[in-house]
Amino acid sequence: MKHQNPIPTVHLYGQKDPGVTPDLLHCEPLIIRSREHKFKIKPHRHHGLSQIFYLKRGYGEANIDGDPTTVKAPCLIVIGEMCIHDFIWSSDVEGTVLSVANPLLESIEKALIKKQPVIRATVIMTVRREQSQLESILDLIHSEYNHAPADSRALVLSSLIQLLAIWLERNAPAKVNTTSQQSRSAEYFNQFISLINRDFNSHRKVESYACELGITAPYLNSVCQQLVEKSALQMVHERVLLEAKRSLIYTVQNISEIAYGLGFTDPAYFTRFFRRLTGLSPKQFREKQVADNGIRPAGS
């Protein structure tokens, strides 16, 4: 399917992509964003995450990678990373939308010992059995997600998403194709993201990543610009920044410990790196999280 205008790559629909954030999960009722946009969600895609739509009530017209289809409750729609999708929902639509970031999805892959579980695929499935079990899992996720931050919150959410992934494996149609139908560029991009997640604290050069992918650095940069309007180096830096933010928010490590853990040989350089990307020093960022969100590092 050809589009006259570039397809926007966003973090959450209707919001300008803020870049990678330390939150690995977003959960909200389907009606919220649908009503805000008059029940018409225009074509877009996401990088760094997959989405799960549970349609509990109502119906809609879904267009997924150029394949239009009518969806009716109760059903589940899983949208894989970089899959172009749009929806027109009925005004009585009811359900849940989960956005799950790649690092959490990759931990699920390891737990399931499966290269690409259903939760990372793109699939539409009617919920004919175990509907009450699915709704219980989603209710628990929504409840925990909306709790005030606590030491155990991230662990509980991770466990619940893993439980949801297992539910999908058990209940998805037997012939679900979890192989990506994306273009060659998107395949290179996803492989690049996987390499970054593996080696972000090694400070590899873009040329090194490109060589492992079997392409040139200029082509890798072109792929990133095409899909997310960022350079390959920006993607690497964003992943390092993500891990830095997590450490600042959820651990009591001091700045030097965090810097060395991220592969920086000089904590002062890490501070300059962090300030350049966020406008704040690591210390200021940590203090702001406490002041704005009441988030204190575990054990503090």
CA triplet 216, 220, 226: central angle to 5 degrees? 140
> Which among 89-103, 214-228, 278-292 has the top mean pLDDT?
89-103
Strands (E), the chain: 25-29, 40-44, 49-57, 59-64, 67-72, 75-79, 85-89, 94-101, 123-126
Q: Name the pLDDT band for 20 (thresholds 50, 70, 90).
A: very low
What CA–CA distance (Å, rounded) separates 227 from 34?
A: 25
What CA–CA distance (Å, rounded) separates 184 from 18?
A: 26
Q: Looking at per-residue confidence, does 10 or 241 come out higher?
A: 241
State both tokens at 227: 């899909």
State both tokens at 268: 């002062």
Residues 212-236 pLDDT 10s: 999 999 999 998 888 778 899 999 9
Percent of the chain residues past pLDDT 70, beyond the cut = 84
What's the pTM value of the predicted model, to 2 decimals?
Answer: 0.65
Q: Looking at per-residue confidence, does 220 or 173 come out higher?
A: 220
3-class state of residue 174 by DSSP? coil
Looking at residue 4, its pLDDT comes to 39
Query: Cα 69 vs. chain centroid, distance in angstroms?
Result: 24
Peptide bond into 74 cis (omega under 30): yes
What CA–CA distance (Å, rounded) separates 51 from 27?
A: 10
What CA–CA distance (Å, rounded) separates 114 from 275?
A: 38
Does 171 have pLDDT greater than 80? yes
What CA–CA distance (Å, rounded) separates 285 from 274?
A: 9
Residues 106-155 pLDDT 10s: 888 888 877 678 898 888 999 977 899 999 999 999 999 887 666 688 88
Identify whether the C-beta of residue 274 lies closer than 8 Å to the C-beta of residue 247: no
